[in-house]
Amino acid sequence: MIVTITLNPLIDRTLFVVRLRKGVISRTDRKEMVAGGKGVNVARVLKNFGLPAKAFVMLGGHTGKLFADLVRLEGIGLIPFWVNSPTRFSTRIHETSRELNTTLIEEGEPITRDEIERLRGKAIGSIQKAKILVLSGSAPGANLSTIYRDLIREAHNNKTLTILDTYGEAFLRGIEASPFMIKPNRAEYESSTGKPLRTAADFRAAFRHFHDKGIELVVITLGKQGVRASFKGETFVLKPRRIKEVMPVGSGDCLIAGIVYGLTQNLPTEDCLRWGTAAGCANAAVWPVADLKKEQVEQYLPLISVRKKHEG
Ligand SMILES: Nc1ncnc2c1ncn2[C@@H]1O[C@H](COP(=O)(O)OP(=O)(O)OP(=O)(O)O)[C@@H](O)[C@H]1O
Ligand SMILES: [Mg+2]
């Protein structure tokens, strides 16, 4: 079983209009609504790949109930954790005349101290049987900045493989527990550590920094420029084929799903990374966010170039 954790989910609505005009009423031609949030994205792709995955999601209010319905309708395994503050919306306006997206994301509301205590208990109970645990996205409110760290420690007691994909304080505290894998993108790395990530020396320093903290697999994602990763004395540079980018949101989540797929199949690290890079690329090439079929990813596998180097 693979368990993903999402503490800051959102209902992702897209309204399609020909052209948005400010200050007047526009009418939509079409609308879409999906359960969003990083861990849910990872669980969706894993489910599509035929792997047993469950999404632990913090939900609240009427919007939380709507979220749970959407997840269940998709057939994604859900472990809801109920709180008072309502689940938020993200509203994207897609202008069809110029293929332009404008997105408004509501802030997540902090939860109470009591809820945090209940959350810890429920989350710890829910990860007991996980072989792989994916902790994704931001944790709403300062009081939650240590929760990933604590869950990673708990998971390691059960020999669960852990993957941390977050930023800021939750990332800095989370890496104190030495997750198996981290996946910052460039902006997340730079904002969390205050260090630049441009030159080959910057990448070497970043890899060394995280390995010294006991993190085995360090994966840095760079959008259309691909992936740089480091594992057990080897570094990898993966480059996707150039594609027409349609909607890159969720590519990082798809990359994680691809790597998790590789891990469950006991593929060598290089191939796990190839699956991840191909999944990120396949996602960016289509409109739906993080809803890939396995065949879509397989198409891209041969189009990824991989350079591997032993570090001295
Ligand atoms: N336009 C693109 N063309 C080819 N590959 C892409 C493109 N965008 C993303 N990818 C692939 O997906 C991977 C993850 O993308 P990215 O670095 O944007 O993740 P992210 O910022 O974490 O995204 P998100 O948090 O929205 O899921 C990249 O490393 C790359 O391999
Ligand atoms: Mg990301």
Alpha carbon distances (Å) from 268 to 128, 132, 220, 235, 243: 26, 17, 18, 13, 26
pLDDT per residue over 196-211, tens digit each? 999 999 999 999 999 9
Q: Tell me which ligand sits closest to the C-alpha of residue 166.
A: 2
Compute the distance between CA of residue 28 and CA of residue 8 in angstroms, rounded to an integer: 28
With H, G, I as helix, E, B as strand and everything else as coil, classify residue 265. coil
pLDDT at 143: 83
pLDDT at 56: 98
Paired residues of 273 in beta bridges:
none
List the residue whose alpha carbon is closest to atom 20 of ligand 1: 252
Tell me, using a 6 A CB cutoff, whether residue 251 lines ligand 1.
yes
Show Cβ contacts of residue 248 under 8 Å, excluding neighbours closer than 6 positions: 223, 224, 283, 284
Band (139; pLDDT cuts 50, 70, 90): confident
| pLDDT over 90, % of the chain | 94
Tell me, using a 6 A CB cutoff, whether residue 224 lines ligand 1.
yes
Mean pLDDT of 1-20: 96
222 Cα to the center of ligand 1, angstroms: 6
| pLDDT over 70, % of the chain | 100
pLDDT at 312: 62
With H, G, I as helix, E, B as strand and everything else as coil, classify residue 254. helix
Q: Which amino acid is at 293?
A: K
Which of 90, 103, 251, 299 most suits a substitution to test ligand 1, by most atoms within 8 Å of the C-beta? 251
301 Cα to the center of ligand 1, angstroms: 15
Tell me, using a 6 A CB cutoff, whether residue 226 lines ligand 1.
yes
Q: Which amino acid is at 136?
A: S
pLDDT at 34: 96
* Residues constituting the chain: 312
Mean pLDDT of 143-167: 96
Alpha carbon distances (Å) from 53 to 14, 47, 131, 132: 26, 6, 10, 9
Tell me, using a 6 A CB cutoff, whether residue 166 lines ligand 1.
no
Q: Which residues surround ligand 2, an ion (CB under 5 A)?
A: 252
Band (109; pLDDT cuts 50, 70, 90): confident
pLDDT per residue over 233-289, tens digit each? 999 999 999 999 999 999 999 999 999 999 999 999 999 999 999 999 999 999 999
239 Cα to the center of ligand 2, angstroms: 18
> What's the pTM value of the predicted model, to 2 decimals?
0.96
pLDDT at 141: 77
Compute the distance between CA of residue 142 and CA of residue 122 in angstroms, rounded to an integer: 20
Compute the distance between CA of residue 174 and CA of residue 148 in angstroms, rounded to an integer: 5
254 Cα to the center of ligand 1, angstroms: 8
pLDDT at 289: 93
Q: What CATH fold (topology level) applies to the domain 2-20+29-310?
A: UDP-N-acetylmuramoyl-L-alanine:D-glutamate ligase (3.40.1190)
pLDDT at 225: 97
Q: Which atom of ligand 1 approaches the CA of 253 most closely?
A: 27
- Residue 133 pLDDT greater than 90, yes or no: yes
Mean pLDDT of 95-109: 92
- Strand pairing of 305-310 and 181-182? unpaired
Closest of 79, 178, 190, 74 to residue 127, by C-alpha: 79
List the residue whose alpha carbon is closest to atom 3 of ligand 1: 224
158 Cα to the center of ligand 1, angstroms: 31
Q: Where are the domains of the chain?
A: 2-20+29-310
Compute the distance between CA of residue 31 and CA of residue 202 in angstroms, rounded to an integer: 43
Task: Return the H-helix or E-strand segment holding 212.
Answer: helix 200-212
Band (169; pLDDT cuts 50, 70, 90): very high
Closest of 221, 218, 251, 252 to residue 239, by C-alpha: 221
Which of 8, 221, 244 most suits a substitution to test ligand 1, by most atoms within 8 Å of the C-beta? 221
Q: Are the CB atoms for 6 and 37 separated by under 8 Å?
A: yes
Alpha carbon distances (Å) from 79 to 18, 136, 161, 256: 38, 15, 19, 20
Q: Which amino acid is at 235?
A: T
- Residue 142 pLDDT greater than 80, yes or no: no
181 Cα to the center of ligand 1, angstroms: 17
240 Cα to the center of ligand 1, angstroms: 10
